[in-house]
Amino acid sequence: MSRENDRVKGKVVAITGASSGIGEATAILLASLGAKAVLGARRTDRLEGVASQIIKAGGEATYLKMDVKRRDDLVRLVNTGCERFGKLDVLISNAGIGPISLLDELRVEDWEAMIDVNLKGFLYGIAAALPVFRRQGFGHFVNVLSTAGLRIVPSQAVYAGTKNAVRTISEGLRQEAGDRLRVTAVSPGFVSTDFAESITNPETRAQIVATREKIAIAPEAIARAIAFAIEQPYEVDVSEIVVRPTAQA
């Protein structure tokens, strides 16, 4: 059911990692508030399902298969919003992986994958959207980070490192953005998503799944935080939001 918000209605929002979890929940919520959703992810079948759900509910959405490891794919995502809907108001950099492990395990390929997706993919989004936002004279970057970067624990050093790099770059981008562009960093805690599926160490994966099942909050909680930042007047920049389960240490 539509519950349109005057400050969200009509905004064109591109979302990476939109086929499930936080990305899916955010797309559905923002579309219900009147936003036009441009959905990007690798799983076309899942994207089609999300887009169909939005359209059946009376919203507007389009989607494309993409991989944030490819710079050209981020350009295509941004261009799709501009060509289909005439502009791009928000880029939500949500795609991320977390094959966490102890450094002693030397899972170098996992380290490289996290750098490619979590950090380089985010930078490719800036490279694609920033020139568009500058030409338009408006735009909003929403970057999904993690509380893993706020409380460093064993097995999460590289993952937290990528998320803290994004946090640092987000702050630098905010300071360079001027008075017409907005930048928001959102740090979720334990959320009920398929995050654990990327973990290659079976014991670590089991620990994360057990914690998730015990305390995780729904992706919709993060979607609401993102919507809160987006719905603010243009002169209000919500720079950082942390959303975690009440039970999380």
Q: Which residues are catalytic?
A: 159
Residue 14's DSSP bridge partners are 38, 91
- Residues contacting 86, CB < 8 A, separation 6+: 12
Walk across the sheet containing 90-93 and list its strands.
60-65, 36-41, 12-16, 90-93, 139-144, 181-188, 240-243
Alpha-carbon span 91 to 136, nearest angstrom: 14
For residues 81 and 140, is the Cβ–Cβ distance under 8 A? no
Q: Which amino acid is at 207?
A: Q
* Number of Cβ atoms within 10 Å of the Cβ of 58: 12
* Number of Cβ atoms within 10 Å of the Cβ of 16: 28
Closest alpha carbon to 118 in 76, 165, 157, 66: 165
